[in-house]
Amino acid sequence: MTSLADLSAVDLVSRYRDRSLSPVEVAEAVLQRIEAWEPKLQALWSLDPAGARAAAAESARRWAEGRPLGPVDGVPVTIKENIATKGVPMPVGTAATSLVPAAEDAPPAARLRDSGAVILAKTTMPDYGMLSSGLSSFHRLACNPWDLSTNPGGSSAGAGAAAAAGYGPIHLGTDIGGSIRLPAGWCGVVGLKPSLGRIPIDPPYVGRVAGPMTRTVADTALAMSVLSRPDGRDGMSLPPVEIAWSDLAIDPKGLRIGLMMEIGAGMALDPEVGEAVTAAARLLEAAGAVIEPVPAILTREMLDGLDDFWRARAWDDVERLPESDRAKILPYIRAWAESGAQRSGLAVIRGFNRTMEMRKTAAKLFGSLDFVLSPTAPVARFPADWASPVNDPDKPFEHIGYTVVWNMSEQPAVSINCGYTAAGAPIGLQIVGRRFDDLGVLRLAKAYEDRRGPQRPWPVL
């Protein structure tokens, strides 16, 4: 029998509607899962059982009266801790931050609350969100539920781990270079980085988005029906538009899909990852898609230039802190950020301009393609206490080549599980679509999900 904690959001809403299940029962089951597993997983911060139970009871009353607030009323959710929720401080992963309660919900959190979601907790992240890791100077070390000795990835580390562990069906993360898709790939879940501006966010920044992490494509689509609603606080948000998020049907026949196995810079591709992604492409080819190999579009200069730009950006934040607070930052991140002081203004501008080159090369690539497939990450696992798969602050972004390009080009990209290594680690397939074609990306992900065959059981701790 499937535990209530493992039911999808789509199933939960259906059962709330026919009154065969209550949000109170579900919230209790998820809280029991968290109580049992969280001492090992360490994915959450600011867990609020009393608030969750109260919100679930209110949702149960609304469903009983036939007046749910929205599509996810009564669905348990978690929210990454750098997304403001009223009354809860945002440490942004670092002990250097003063803990001041947020004055109001940020746009993505507000949309979930407005729709009646049961907010369980915030999820953990590394210092300033600048690691693909569960390592943090403020939070306990988050681990991957598939293997506690390995890393969940990041920076949406706690969100990825919570999704794989069944801490409810919807988890909200953020992504500026792969921070949703990388942990989604390493934790075996679905993680969508939408088009820039599709989900209003505060504060907005170049390439920065919020997005859902779930166990199924349908749950991601359900979350998007709520999260994509407009909010005037984001000056980079897209104009409101009606999108049929629940219509996930697509026939792959005739779709022109590029297969990008090499990205052009960074870590070498692990053969097991390459084999799984190639097999996924062949599955879509068998369904009628036209698969064609495409060349790498990232260069060493692009990746290093972005590193220069981000180091200077980080130093702008860190330099303002008193030394007593600066000393609390994770040493890896402090060393990386402080090196930004040695970058010249010209080097930083050139670094930023590399993001424009990424946009140009991505646009040229999609001139003749509907979608691109690639690995989500070049490797499938790395130690839990490492800051990144390379674990070297002088080489911080060797693993984000497959993901970061699409942040800078503002295109939607989703990671979905496409297999496992011999050791049992999940492998992520990335599906990238044309700018603004978020629904198309989810449709192709659903087409693959329907064809990939049975998945391994979710981990049990």
pLDDT classification of 353: cutoffs 50, 70, 90: very high
Check residue 2 and give its pLDDT.
79
Phi-psi region of 168 (alpha: psi -120 to 50; beta: other; left: phi over 0): left
pLDDT classification of 1: cutoffs 50, 70, 90: low
Active site residue 193: no
Catalytic one among 179, 237, 388, 415? 179
Check residue 461 and give its pLDDT.
82
Check residue 255 and give its pLDDT.
98
Mean pLDDT of the chain: 97
Domain-by-domain residue ranges, the chain? Answer: 4-228, 256-302+335-450
Query: What is the Cα–Cα distance from 399 to 406, expressed in whole angstroms?
Result: 14
Asked whether the beta carbons of 33 and 2 are under 8 A apart, the reply is no
Tell me, letter by letter, the H, E, C secondary structure of 48-107: CHHHHHHHHHHHHHHHHCCCCCCCCCCCEEEEECCCCCCCCECCCCCCCCCCCECCCCCH
Query: What is the Cα–Cα distance from 40 to 28, expressed in whole angstroms?
Result: 20
CB atoms within 10 A of CB 49: 15
pLDDT at 331 over 70: yes
CATH architecture of 4-228: Alpha-Beta Complex (3.90)
* Interacting residues of 164 by C-beta distance below 8 A, sequence separation 6+: 144, 145, 146, 152, 187, 188, 189, 215, 458, 459
What the block records as the tokens of 204 is 């907005």
Alpha helices (H) in 122-216, listed in sequence order: 157-165, 181-187
What the block records as the tokens of 371 is 């979608």
Active site residue 80: yes
Catalytic one among 46, 80, 122, 446? 80
Catalytic one among 8, 132, 155, 374? 155
Check residue 352 and give its pLDDT.
97
CATH number listed for the domain at residues 256-302+335-450: 3.90.1300.10
pLDDT classification of 4: cutoffs 50, 70, 90: very high
Please indicate whether the domains covering 4-228 and 256-302+335-450 agree at the CATH topology level.
yes
List, for residues 67-119, the tens digit of each pLDDT value.
Answer: 999 999 999 999 999 999 999 999 999 999 999 999 999 999 999 999 999 99
List, for residues 421-445, the tens digit of each pLDDT value.
Answer: 999 999 999 999 999 999 999 999 9
List, for residues 291-321, the tens digit of each pLDDT value.
Answer: 999 999 999 999 999 999 999 999 999 999 9
